[in-house]
Amino acid sequence: MTDNESCGGSGPSLQHGGRPTPSGGRIPDPEIPRSGRVQRSRSLLEGIAWWRSDTTDFDGGFSLVELVVVLLVVAVLLAIAIPTFLGTQNGAFDRSVQSNLNTALTDAKVQFDGNSQTYLIGGVQDPTSLASALNSQQPALTFKAGSAGTAVTQGSSGSLSDISVAVSVDGNGVVLAAYSVPGNCFYAVDNAQTLSGSTSSVAPYSGTTTVSTTATMAPAGTIGLPVIAGQSYVEVKGDTNKTDCNAYSPKTSGSQTTIRYLTSGFPN
């Protein structure tokens, strides 16, 4: 007697798991070895661990080598950009000073024409009174009388809009000076006629440093301004001493300073 018969039934035997067969039996499911399950679980965990570690490395920032490379690139760019910027800025300062001097020279000519064709005030060499008259005429600029002093407060130009003023002893010439921030000083000279020896031998024309239309190295000393008739424009470059930029006692401190003048406008 079979098990079914002993249990009083004639149906197929009851077995758990597997797939049914036409004869009423079941095919057992294939048994997955335990080692295979462990291997698949280990592979999955390793993949998750790799993904997390890769993501963590990406979010962790730059390496030291990468930062050094970036800093080197920035340094090279700054080394190129800064000189270009400073050169452009210095050129703008120079053009601003030149514009101020042209304006001041126009105002001085108005005073000359309205004062019986002379730069003398009351018949005497009086740059203080001339500067005062120019201040009233042109409030956008600050005019001051040049002197033989050694300070900005004694007549030297200390900024773009400070105009130092000097007059020849015969009243036929006027000298205007203004300082540009980079260390350049510009002079505008107007002589109604060629100055005589007695006039050119005293301040502000008595300097010994030769001024030519070619830029030359200027030794330390007082600048000899042009004495020819007409307007002249003098450029002193590389002198960072503001007190040297004085219309009455124009001078240079030497040390890589160049000087040049033109009659057609300021040198470039």
Two structure tokens written together for 260: 């040049």
Q: What is the pLDDT of residue 119?
A: 97
Of 56-60, 90-94, 110-114, least confident by mean pLDDT is 56-60
Q: What is the pLDDT of residue 9?
A: 47
Residue pair 173/165 in contact by the 8 Å Cβ criterion? no
Q: Which amino acid is at 228?
A: I
Q: What is the pLDDT of residue 128?
A: 95
Q: What is the pLDDT of residue 8?
A: 47
Q: What is the pLDDT of residue 202?
A: 94
244 domain residue, yes or no? yes
Domain boundaries, position 142: 71-262
14 domain residue, yes or no? no
58 domain residue, yes or no? no
Q: Does 47 have pLDDT greater than 70?
A: no
Q: What is the pLDDT of residue 48?
A: 56
27 domain residue, yes or no? no
Q: Does 138 have pLDDT greater than 80?
A: yes
Q: What is the pLDDT of residue 40?
A: 55
Q: Does 241 have pLDDT greater than 60?
A: yes
Mean pLDDT of 146-157: 83
48 domain residue, yes or no? no
Residue pair 145/134 in contact by the 8 Å Cβ criterion? no
Q: pLDDT tens for residues 181-204? A: 888 999 999 999 999 999 999 999
Q: Does 125 have pLDDT greater than 50?
A: yes
* CA dihedral for 123, 126, 132, 138, sign (positive or negative): positive
Q: How many CA atoms lie within 13 A of 118 on its CB side?
A: 12
The β-bridge relationship of strands 142-145 and 162-167 is: parallel
Q: What is the pLDDT of residue 113?
A: 95
235 domain residue, yes or no? yes
243 domain residue, yes or no? yes
Domain count, the chain: 1
53 domain residue, yes or no? no
Of 51-55, 178-182, 218-222, 240-244, least confident by mean pLDDT is 51-55
Q: 19 Cβ partners below 8 Å, 6+ apart?
A: 26, 27, 29
Please tell me which residue, 159 or 50, carries the higher pLDDT value: 159
Alpha carbon of 24 to those of 3, 10, 109, 117, 176: distances in Å?
A: 15, 11, 129, 137, 124
Q: What is the pLDDT of residue 21?
A: 59
Please tell me which residue, 6 or 151, carries the higher pLDDT value: 151
233: β partners = 188, 262
Q: Which amino acid is at 263?
A: T
Q: What is the pLDDT of residue 74?
A: 86
Burial of 17 (0-12, 13-18, 19+ CB in 10 A): exposed
Averaged pLDDT score across all residues of the chain: 81
